[in-house]
Copies of this chain bind each other. A is one copy, B any other.
Amino acid sequence: MTPGPKATDAQPLRSDAERNRGRIIAAARTVFERDGLGASMASVAREAGVGIATLFRHFGVKEDLIAAVFADRMDAYVAAVDDALGVPDPWAGFTGFVEAICAMQAADRGFADVLTTTFPAAEALEERRAAAYQGVVELVARAKDSGRLRQDFTTQDLVLLLVANAGVVGFAGDTVPGAWRRLVALLIQSFQAPARGPLPDAPADDALYEAMVRAGAASIASRERGSAG
């Protein structure tokens, strides 16, 4: 461990290792934003200008890197739930929350996937997700009680919306940047009470969770294939 450069201002001393870690996280943020979570560890190392061995020394598994990169986004997600619960009008709180998280997806393709992907090994990230989920349950219950949200709405419908929106965001990219706003506006109108008709049953919670776990496993597996490219 070599000593870091002398700090000439208020900045604390930082070791090479800490600098590398920060550089890797910044590079991964760029790569995940551009290519989604399927991006390879090799492409992150390239973007960071470090060797693949250095990358793996800092983040032994891709979950650790994902958790580090998206820690602040997950914080913003938790904050969006809290903000929405603070809005006096429950319907405005609910729809504002839906628009806010879909906007977060549009701003960051990697995060678009994180919202509908579970990484059981990334504990800090999953703790934030669980905390947000409790708030979302309350948000949905309040909006239903207000009579503005259809009674057959479930939190699983939010997962469907996020997956659908991730699809549109990934497809539209920078070419049709506002496309997602129209999809989300249509879906919000469909959520509004009174329901215009019955719906097929919502997917079961545990099956949806299994799909989220599978999506996570697939993101991580893509490292193997991509690292050869």
Contact = CB atoms under 8 A, between A and B. Distances in A.
B207 A183 contact: no
| Oligomer copy total | 2
A3 interface: no
A28 to B, nearest CB: 19
A197 B166 CA distance: 24
A183 to B, nearest CB: 5
Interface in A151-178: 157, 160-161, 163-168, 170-173, 175-176, 178
A23 interface: no
A207 B170 CA distance: 14
A99 B186 CA distance: 17
A187 B185 contact: no
Given A116-B171, A163-B167, A228-B228, A190 B199 contact: no
Given A160-B168, A175-B211, A228-B229, A190 B186 contact: yes
A214 B201 CA distance: 35
Contacts of A187: 186-187, 190
Given A167-B167, A167-B170, A189-B196, A160 B175 contact: no
Interface of A: 116, 157, 160-161, 163-168, 170-173, 175-176, 178-179, 181-183, 185-187, 189-192, 195-197, 199-204, 207-208, 210-211, 214-215, 224-226, 228-229
